Amino acid sequence: MILLTGATGRVGRALLRRLTAAGEPVRCLVREPRRLGDARVRVQITLGDLADPLSFRHAMRGVDTVVHLAASAREQPGACIEELNGLATWGMLRAAERAGVRRFLYFSALGASAHHGVRFMRSKALAEASVARAALPHTVIAPSLVYAPGDRLLTTLQRLAWLPLVPLPGSGRALVQPIWAEDVADCVVAILAAGEQAPDRVELAGPDTLTHAAVAKTVLGALGRSRPLVKLPLPLVQAGLRGFELGAGPTTPLTAEQVALFDVEMTSSEGTAHAESLGVRPRSMGAVLGVGS
C-alpha cells in the first residue's frame, strides 16, 4: 500500500493516474475527497491534513511506502508555514517509523536552505533535515519550478494577459529550470520501481534555464498574446498584500509569502541528468505549451 499526500496537486494528480493505471493500491490523505474527482473511486481515502498529526497515525496503517508531496506556501488557520511543512514532515516520519513503513519519498524544492530569505524554502530545508535523520530508507526529490497547463501560475498569467501590461512581482531575473508535472510524475514512478536501489536524493530540472520573466513570456507566447512585462518591486507588492490579508484573512487569493517565490532561484548544476538517469527526458516548457507550433 502506498500512502500519497498532495494527491490533488500538480504532481499528485499525474502520479495518481499512473499508480492506479498500474493497479497499485493507493491511500490518499486528503482534506476534501471531492477534489480527487473520478480517482476517488479507485483509491482508499483517509481524511486528514498537515495541521493534524493524529491523522498521520491512522493513515499509516498497512502502508509500505509513503510519497509525501503535500506542502503549503501560506498560513492556515491554526498552523504556520513552518508547522505545515517542517513539523508536519517530522510527525509523518515518526508515524511512519512506528507503523513499520519501509520507504519514504519526500518532495522538497531546489535551493531550499536553512538560511534562505523565503520562509517556504526554509521550511522545506527543515523537513529535508528530518528526512535525512530518519531511520527508514528515503529519497528526497528536489524539483525546480513545476508547472502544468491549467495550474495556478499559468492560469493567473492567462488572466493577466488580457491587460495591456502584465505585472511581474520582483526583478524577474531569478533563474529556474521549469519541469512539467507529467515528467516529474514519471520520475517518481521510476524511483518507486527502483526500490532499494533508489538514490537518497534526486534533483529534477527541465532542459531550459529561464528567468522568471522568460517563463512569463513563454506562457504569453503560448497564449498568442505578446505583452510588455512591468516588474514591480517585491517589497511594495508584499506590503500591499499584507494589508489585504488583514482584511480578507485566509480567503485572500495570494499572500505576501507566496509572492516571494516569484523571485526565488531554483536551479541544479546537474540539469536534466538525474531525470535522465531515471529514464525520463524532460521536455522544454515551450514544447509542452506549444510555443511556436
Q: Which CATH number covers residue 290?
A: 3.90.25
Domain count, the chain: 2
Structural domain includes residue 215: yes
Is residue 293 over pLDDT 60?
no
Position 266 scores a pLDDT of 96
Q: Is there a single domain that holds both residue 50 and residue 89?
A: yes
Q: Is there a single domain that holds both residue 124 and residue 217?
A: no
Q: What is the DSSP letter of 266?
A: B
Q: Is there a single domain that holds both residue 139 and residue 258?
A: no
Query: What does the alpha-carbon distance between residue 214 and residue 272 come to, in Å, rounded to a whole number?
Result: 19
- The domain boundary residue, chosen from 120, 143, 166: 143
Which H or E run contains 167?
A: strand 166-169
Structural domain includes residue 103: yes
Q: Is there a single domain that holds both residue 126 and residue 223?
A: no
Is residue 154 over pLDDT 60?
yes
The enclosing domain of 115 has a CATH number of 3.40.50.720
Structural domain includes residue 183: no
CA atoms within 13 A on the CB side of 293: 10
Backbone CA torsion sign across 257, 262, 265, 266: positive
Query: What does the alpha-carbon distance between residue 168 and residue 232 come to, in Å, rounded to a whole number?
Result: 6
Structural domain includes residue 194: no
- Averaged pLDDT for residues 165-177: 90
Q: Is there a single domain that holds both residue 137 and residue 151?
A: no
Query: What does the alpha-carbon distance between residue 214 and residue 208 come to, in Å, rounded to a whole number?
Result: 10
Dihedral Cα 10, 285, 127, 136, nearest 10 deg: 80
Q: Is there a single domain that holds both residue 164 and residue 60?
A: no
Is residue 291 over pLDDT 80?
no
Q: Percent of the chain scored above 90 by pLDDT?
A: 63
Range of the domain at 78: 2-143
- Averaged pLDDT for residues 271-280: 97
Q: Is there a single domain that holds both residue 12 and residue 134?
A: yes
Tens-digit pLDDT profile for residues 11-46: 999 999 999 999 999 999 998 988 888 888 899 999
- The domain boundary residue, chosen from 96, 126, 143: 143
CA-angle at 8, arms to 275 and 150, nearest 5°:
75
Structural domain includes residue 276: no
Q: Is there a single domain that holds both residue 128 and residue 229?
A: no
Q: Is there a single domain that holds both residue 54 and residue 92?
A: yes
Mean pLDDT of the chain: 91
DSSP output for 37-80: GGGGGSSEEEE--TT-HHHHHHHTTT-SEEEE----SS-BTTB-
Q: Using alpha carbons, list the distances in angstroms from residue 124 to 71, 85, 87, 187, 199.
A: 9, 6, 10, 20, 19
Q: Percent of the chain scored above 70 by pLDDT?
A: 97
Q: Is there a single domain that holds both residue 94 and residue 223?
A: no
Tens-digit pLDDT profile for residues 206-223: 999 999 999 999 998 888
Say if CB 137 and CB 103 are below 8 A apart.
yes
Position 249 scores a pLDDT of 63
Q: Is there a single domain that holds both residue 103 and residue 156?
A: no
Q: Is there a single domain that holds both residue 88 and residue 228?
A: no
Three cell numbers, residue 9: 496537486
